Structure 1
Amino acid sequence: MLTEFRTKPPTGRRGSRLVGAVLALFLTAAPVSAAHAADRAPAAPPRTVPALSDWQAGKGSYEFGARTRLVARDAVSRRVARTLADDLRAAGEGSVPVTSGPSRTGDIVVDIDAHDKRLGAEGYELNVGGRLEITGAAETGAFYGTRTLLQLLAQSPRIPAGRTVDVPQYEERGVGVCACYVHISTDWLENLVRDMAYHKLNQLLLELKVKSDAHPEANSWGYYTKSEIRRLVALGEKYHVTIVPEINSPGHMDPWIQDRPDLQLVDVDGNAQPSRLDITKPEALTYYKSLIDEYGEVFPAKWWHMGADEYMLGSDFAKYPHVLEYARARYGADATPQDAFIDFVNQVEAYAAGKGKKLRIWNDGLTGANTVPVKPGTTVEHWLNVNVKPSQLIAQGYPVMNAAYSLYVIRGGFHSDTGKLYDEQWDPRSFEGEKLTSRSGITGAKISLWPDNGRGETENEVAEAAFMPLNHIAQATWGTPHPDADYAGFAARADAVGHAPGVRDLTRVPLADGTYTLADRGHRTTPAQVRLTRTADGYATLTNAAGACLETRSGKLTLNVPLEPGSAVTWETCDAKNTLQRWQLTPDRGGDKGGHRITSAITRMTLDATSDGALVQYPPDQKAPTTWTLTRA
C-alpha cells in the first residue's frame, strides 16, 4: 500500500491543565496534587478502529513476549486461535503455539461462551491483566476480539490492563467494489479482505464477471477465473468477510450481452441497446438465471445482488412501447412500464430464493411509478435520492442498507470527503436526501469503490484514497461515529492501527531506478535499452533510447480503458500523468533468476511478445505470459 495519511496526534493544552489545577485548589477542601488527580482520572482506552466504547481501565498491563501461548480449549476457539497465530507470524511476532492446556501468566486465552447473550453473534469481551482473555458467544465474535488484539500489538507489546464488552451497532458493515468492465488484481482484492476483517467489516460486494463455461461468447476481458474466485472466497471465509456477487441487470448488461443481439432491448427506431436486457423476453430471464447458477458454483453467500439500477439511464420507457404492452398484458390496463421492470426483479427474487439466496437491489429503480411492489424481504441498498425515501421503504418492510453516494470513491472522479463526514458526525441514519432518527430497519452501511473512469487512477492510488473512508465506515457502523474530538485525532488513530498483518506491499518495485537491457526469454524481440523509473504510486515506467515510454493504448475502449486482448503495446510520448504508461513488475514465479512478468497497471494484462517480435497485451489465462529479463546496463 502507499504510505497512508499520517497526522500527528493533537498536542495537549498545558495552559488549560494548569488553570484547571489552580481552580481545583480553590474548589476542594484540601490541596490535591496533580499526581493524585491523575490517578483518579479515568484512563483513556487504548487506540483501536473501531474505538473501544466500553473500556474500564485496570491496574498494570499485559506483556506479549517470547513465552506467550494461545490457549483454546474447543474446536471453534482453536480455529480462531490458529488464524490469530497465522496473523501474528505475518506481523513478525514469530510462531506462537496453540495449546489446550491450562493458561499461565502471559498467555492469550480464546474462549467461546454460547450462553453469554450480551455479545450476540459478533460481539466479544476482552479482559487484559496478567493474561489476555478474549471471549465470544460465537466464533465471529471471538475472531473480532483477536482483531482488536492485533491492532493493540501493532502499537506496543505492552497493553494496559482493563476490560471491554464490544458489540457492533449494525449487522452489515461493508465495502462495495465494481470490478465491472475493468479488471482489479486479485492481490489487491485479497489485501482489501484482510484490511476489512482487521477493521471488523464483514461484507464485500463484488460486481464482477466470472469467466463463463456456459456462455463463452460473453468472455470479454475483465473476467476472473473460477479458481481465482474460489481462492478469494476461501480467504473471506477464513476472515469472516462475506463476499456478495453482483451481476447488474437488466441494465448495465453489456459485459454479458454485447455479443447477444437477440437479448438486447430495441427501441422504436430499431436501435439495439447492448447495455439493456429485453425484460419482455422469456429467453432474457432464462439467460440471467443461468448466470446465477454458474456464479453459485463459486459464491456460497446467502445473498444475490442483481443491481437493478439505471435501466433507463439516458432514455425513457416511451421509446420502448412493447414494454408497456407486456406490463398491461400481465397486470391489467392500469399497469405501467415500471411494472414490467419490477416484474423482472421479482422473478429473479423468486429464482434466487429457490437457490437459498436473498435478493439485494439498488434503490434508484424504485421511483414510485410502479403499481406492482417489490417482493417483501428484498434488501434495498440506498445510494441515490429519488422519490421513494428510505423511511418509506422501511415502513413498507424492506431492509435498507445505506450506500450513500457521499461515501463513494470514483477513479479519477468524486472522492468521499471523509473529514467533512466525520466532523458532521455522519452515521448510517444519514441517507442521501433524508436523515432518520432511528436505526430500526437499517441493516448498516458501506463505502463504494467504482471505476467510472477506469484509467483515472491506479489500484494503488485507489487503495490510498480508500484508507480513511474504510476506517471511517468501520467506526460509524460498529460504534460511536465520533470517538475523537476532531478528524485529525481520528486520522492519527487510524494511522496508529495501520494495515492488517499479511497485507502485501503492492507499491514495491523489485528493481532500482536505472538503465537496463530489456529482453524476452523466448528471443522473439530485439533487446532494447530502457530506463526504468519508479512512479509515485508504486509502478514503473519504461523509457526507450529515443525518449518514448511504453504504453498500451490501442483496441476497444471500455470506461476509457483499452481492454481488447491482443492489442498492440507501443512506444509513445512520455506523460507522467498517463496511467497507461505505468507497469507492474513481478518476479517470475517459475524461479527464473532475473525474469519478470510485466503487467499494465490499468488493463491488468501482461506485456507479451508475438512470434514476429511485436509487443501486445493479453490476459494471463489466454496466453502464457512472456518472461522478461532486465539486465542492469
Structure 2
Amino acid sequence: MDKLNGDQSPFSVVQQYTKASPGQWRLSAQSRVRIVDNARADGNRVLNDTIFIVLSEYADCLAPSGRLLPVQYGECETPASGDIVIELNDSGNTGDSGVGGGMDSREGYIIEIGKFVHIMAPSERTVMYAIRTVMQLLLADGFMPYGRILDYPVMPERALHIDIGRKFYTAEWIMDRIREMSRLRLNTLQLHFSENEGFRLMSESHPGVMSEEYLTKQEMKAIIHTAARYHVALIPSLDSPGHLGYALRIHPDWLLRDSAGNAAPGALDITNAAARQFVLKLIDEYAELFAGSTHFHIGGDEFINFGQFDEYPQLAEYAENVLNISGGTGVDTYIDYLNGVAEHLESKGWTVRAWNDGLYRGDQIQRVAPKPSIQITYWTKWHEMMAPVEEIIAQGHQVMNFNDAYFYYVLGEHAGYTYPKGEKICNSWHPGLFPQRSGGAKQEYPAGSYPRELIGCSFSIWSDKPAAQTEHEVADGIRGPLSAMAERAWLGKQKLAGYAEFS
C-alpha cells in the first residue's frame, strides 16, 4: 500500500461548501464504500484501483484499526450511516451545476453530506480528488457538517516540469513526485530529459547521446504506469534546435557555426538535412515510448541569441534558396524548423508545445508564421523584444503560464534566480499573472476574466547546478511553493487561512 508521509491534508478549502444544520457525518466501524452500479462503473478496474489507492493512503490515520474500508457494488440496500457512496456520472461536469461559475469543468465533482456521503464525479481522476477531499476534511476535523460541496479547478491543467537532463533523478524519486502531485491535484508532469549538460533517458536508436547515468526504458515504463494509476498525464520534452549540446557530442559537425566558424553552444545546424533527421528519429523513438501521452514539448527556446541571426548567414540563405522565401531571414528558417517538427508529431496524433522566447519578437519580421496549433509555454519576457502574452494569444495559440519569477526552482539559485516561496505565491500570484515585462510592468489578466486560451500553469525544477541539492533536498525545497501553486491554480483565489504552511 502507498501510505502518506508528512502533511496528509494539503487542501482544507474547496470552491463551495454549503452547510446544512444540524448534523455531522463521521466514519464508523461499520462504514463501507458503495459504488453505484451503472454502465460506467461495471467492471471498471481503473475505478477500483483508484478507490483502493486513496483508501490505502488514509487507512492508518482514519479507518478503525488501520483497516481498509470495505468496498461494495450495487444499490440493493439503502446506504447506512457513515457510508460513502460513489457515483461515476457527469454531475460534476455540467455548466448548469455551477462549476466554474457556469463554465464546464472536466474535473468538477459534487459531494452531498448527510447520514452518508454521496460523491458524484465524471471521471476516475475526479473520484480520486473527491475521496481525498472527504479524507482530508475528516483528518482535519474528525467529521463533516451536513451539506453540499461543489468543487472544481479554475485552471484545467496544473503541472510540474522536471529537468532530468542535467541531473539524474531516480525513478522512485520521480514516482514519489507523481504521488505527491496527485495529492495536490496536479494533473500533468513534464519530463525534460535532454540538455546541453546531459541526456538521461535511454536511447536505442542513438545510444551515444546518453549520459553515464540515465533512466532505462523499463524504469520509464514504471514511471508511466505509476502516472496512469495516479491520473497524472506525462509530457515528454526533447528540446531542439537549441539545448542539444550533450546529444551533439557525437556529431560536432551538426553544430550551427557563425560566419567566423565558431560553434553556437548546443545549437543544431537546421540547414543540415541529416541533422534534422537525427532529431526526428529521436523524437520518433520517444513518441513510441510515451505512446499513451497526448502532448510533446519540442523546446524552441534559447536556440541562439535571437537578436543575432545575422551572424549565421547560412540560415538566411536557406530561407531564400531552399524555402524559396523572397527576402527570407534566419528567423524564417528557425520557424520553419519548429513547424516541421510540429507537423511531424501532429501527423502521429500529438499536440505540440514550445517555449515563447523566440516567437513573434518585436525586432524581427517573420515571413513564416508558427503553426497556431502549437501550444506556447510562456516563461519569460526578460528582453523587451520578446512578444507579450497577448500577442501570442492574438496569433491563435493556447498558452500555459510558466511564470519564472514565481515558479522556477533553479538548483544553486543559478542565473539570478532565488528559490520560490509559497507565501509569495499565495499572497501575490494568481493564474492570470504572467512574467512581467522588461522594466517591471505587469502582464496580467484579472481574476474572472481569464482568456479561454489560458489553459494552465506549471511549476518548474531546473537542475542548472545538479550538485547543489540532493534529491531529498529538492523534494523538501519544492514542497511549500508547489503546494501553494497547486492551491491557487485550483481555487483561483487566496485561501482563508494563513500561509505559514507554505513557507
C-alpha separation in 2, matches of 1:457 and 1:358: 34
CA shift for structure 1 position 319: 2.9
Q: Is the 8 A contact 1:201 1:241 kept in 2?
A: yes
SS at match of 2:154: coil
C-alpha separation in 2, matches of 1:328 and 1:4: 60
User: 1:130/1:453 Cα in 2 relative to 1: closer, same or farther (>3 Å)?
Assistant: same
Paired position in structure 2 for 1:52:
14
Q: Does 1:350 align with 2:346?
A: no
Q: Does 1:301 align with 2:286?
A: no
Paired position in structure 2 for 1:410:
410
Q: Does 1:144 align with 2:140?
A: no
CA shift for structure 1 position 315: 8.6
Paired position in structure 1 for 2:499:
490
Q: Is the 8 A contact 1:49 1:474 kept in 2?
A: no
SS at match of 1:169: coil
User: 1:296/1:430 Cα in 2 relative to 1: closer, same or farther (>3 Å)?
Assistant: closer
Q: Which residues of 2 match residues 501-512 of structure 1 at below 5 A?
A: none
CA shift for structure 1 position 84: 2.4
Paired position in structure 2 for 1:421:
425
User: Any idea what the Cα deviations from partners look like across 1:356-382, whole Å, max 9, x if unmatched?
Assistant: 101100111112422211001111011
Paired position in structure 2 for 1:38:
none
User: 1:285/1:133 Cα in 2 relative to 1: closer, same or farther (>3 Å)?
Assistant: same
User: Any idea what the Cα deviations from partners look like across 1:84-131, whole Å, max 9, x if unmatched?
Assistant: 223322432422222103332221111112365235421100122221
- Aligned residue among 435, 443, 456 for 2:444: 435
TM-score, normalised on structure 2? 0.84
TM-score, normalised on structure 1? 0.67
C-alpha separation in 1, matches of 2:435 and 2:307: 26
C-alpha separation in 1, matches of 2:221 and 2:272: 33
User: 1:230/1:156 Cα in 2 relative to 1: closer, same or farther (>3 Å)?
Assistant: farther
Q: Which moved more, 1:370-379 or 1:313-322?
A: 313-322
Q: Which moved more, 1:237-246 or 1:119-128?
A: 119-128
CA shift for structure 1 position 266: 2.4
C-alpha separation in 1, matches of 2:351 and 2:70: 41
User: 1:418/1:428 Cα in 2 relative to 1: closer, same or farther (>3 Å)?
Assistant: farther
Q: Which moved more, 1:422-431 or 1:380-389?
A: 422-431
Identity %: 29
Q: Could you tell me which amino acid in structure 2 is paired with residue 328 of structure 1?
A: E
Structure 2 unaligned regions, length at least 5: 61-65, 100-104, 194-199, 438-442
Q: Is the 8 A contact 2:423 2:481 kept in 1?
A: no
- Please identify the structure whose Cα radius of gyration is greater: 1
Paired position in structure 2 for 1:67:
30
User: 1:54/1:277 Cα in 2 relative to 1: closer, same or farther (>3 Å)?
Assistant: same
Q: Which has the higher strand share?
A: 1
Q: Is the 8 A contact 1:412 1:453 kept in 2?
A: yes
Q: Which residues of 2 match residues 536-615 of structure 1 at below 5 A?
A: none
**CA RMSD, Structure 1 to Structure 2 (Å):** 2.5
- Aligned residue among 33, 47, 69 for 1:96: 69
Q: Could you tell me which amino acid in structure 2 is paired with residue 88 of structure 1?
A: L
Q: Is the 8 A contact 1:428 1:477 kept in 2?
A: no
C-alpha separation in 2, matches of 1:228 and 1:313: 36
CA shift for structure 1 position 241: 0.7
User: 1:298/1:275 Cα in 2 relative to 1: closer, same or farther (>3 Å)?
Assistant: same
C-alpha separation in 2, matches of 1:316 and 1:372: 18
Structure 1 unaligned regions, length at least 5: 7-46, 496-633
CA shift for structure 1 position 163: 1.2
Q: Is the 8 A contact 2:162 2:460 kept in 1?
A: yes
Paired position in structure 1 for 2:392:
393
C-alpha separation in 1, matches of 2:53 and 2:390: 44
- Aligned residue among 130, 154, 169 for 1:169: 154
**Count of matched residue positions in the alignment of Structure 1 and Structure 2:** 451
- Aligned residue among 378, 385, 399 for 1:382: 378
Paired position in structure 1 for 2:302:
310
- Aligned residue among 142, 147, 169 for 1:184: 169
Q: Does 1:451 align with 2:463?
A: yes
Paired position in structure 2 for 1:543:
none
C-alpha separation in 2, matches of 1:201 and 1:482: 18
Q: Which has the higher helix share?
A: 2
CA shift for structure 1 position 265: 1.5
Q: Could you tell me which amino acid in structure 1 is paired with residue 267 of structure 2?
A: R
C-alpha separation in 1, matches of 2:13 and 2:244: 41
Q: Is the 8 A contact 1:254 1:275 kept in 2?
A: yes
C-alpha separation in 2, matches of 1:2 and 1:142: 18
CA shift for structure 1 position 432: 3.0
Q: Which residues of 2 match residues 159-308 of structure 1 at below 5 A?
A: 159-208=144-193, 209-273=200-264, 275-299=266-290, 300-308=292-300
C-alpha separation in 1, matches of 2:288 and 2:141: 43
C-alpha separation in 1, matches of 2:90 and 2:396: 31
Paired position in structure 2 for 1:624:
none
User: Any idea what the Cα deviations from partners look like across 1:333-370, whole Å, max 9, x if unmatched?
Assistant: 32221111111100001001011101100111112422
C-alpha separation in 1, matches of 2:303 and 2:433: 27
C-alpha separation in 1, matches of 2:293 and 2:490: 22
Q: Is the 8 A contact 1:50 1:475 kept in 2?
A: no
C-alpha separation in 2, matches of 1:197 and 1:2: 12
- Aligned residue among 360, 363, 368 for 2:353: 360
Q: Could you tell me which amino acid in structure 1 is paired with residue 86 of structure 2?
A: V
SS at match of 1:254: coil
